């Protein structure tokens, strides 16, 4: 989390806490679900665009060579199925929101998020292991503060 988003979140916390205390537990759960879905969608959009939460582009994949030794051009996104709603989950409770990956995808996502070492192809026994560069997949961006503010505002306006 960047310093600007942490400072903004600290400034937003007392106001949002006051609003949440005035709501019934059922209403709080509805609001946190709405915010969780919005944060899940924002993180999914960043993953699809290959942008980290702080706004910097993700390190591109290493170029592959074809059978003749020429560099192959890479097309498409790096994480095509990771950002799907079925793989990226938002869990809401009256007092907290958690955005996480489905367990089948979580291992691969963790390798890329933290820059860990993993086999290139897990289906092949004794596959070579490579250290992947850290590409932050989930996080809290400064624009997410405005998103939370809009969601709370639209919730209270109804």
pTM for the complete prediction?
A: 0.80
Q: Would you say residue 119 lies in a domain?
A: no
Q: Would you say residue 149 lies in a domain?
A: yes
- Residue 71 has phi, psi (to 5 degrees) of -70, 135
Q: Would you say residue 66 lies in a domain?
A: no
For residue 1, pLDDT beyond 60: no
Helix/strand/coil percentages in the chain, nearest 5: 45, 15, 40
11 is in which domain, residue-wise?
Answer: 3-58+77-101+137-157
Average pLDDT over residues 71-79: 77
Q: Would you say residue 90 lies in a domain?
A: yes
- How many domains in the chain? 1
Each residue's pLDDT tens digit, 115-146? 999 998 878 888 899 999 999 999 988 888 88
CA separation for the pair 49, 79 (Å, rounded) = 9
The sign of the dihedral angle between the CA atoms of 106, 145, 33, 150 is negative
């Amino acid at each position: 989390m960047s310093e600007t988003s942490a400072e903004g979140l600290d400034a937003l916390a007392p106001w949002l806490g006051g609003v949440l205390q005035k709501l019934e537990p059922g209403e709080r759960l509805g609001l946190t679900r709405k915010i969780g879905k919005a944060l899940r969608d924002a993180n999914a959009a960043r993953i699809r665009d290959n942008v980290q939460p702080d706004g910097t582009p993700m390190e591109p994949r290493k170029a592959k060579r074809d059978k003749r030794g020429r560099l192959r051009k890479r097309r498409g996104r790096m994480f095509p199925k990771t950002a799907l709603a079925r793989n990226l989950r938002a869990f809401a409770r009256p007092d907290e929101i958690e955005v996480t990956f489905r367990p089948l995808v979580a291992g691969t996502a963790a390798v890329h998020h933290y820059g860990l070492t993993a086999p290139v192809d897990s289906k092949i026994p004794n596959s070579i292991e490579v250290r992947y560069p850290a590409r932050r997949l989930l996080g809290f961006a400064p624009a997410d503060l405005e998103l939370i503010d809009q969601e709370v505002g639209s919730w209270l306006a109804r």
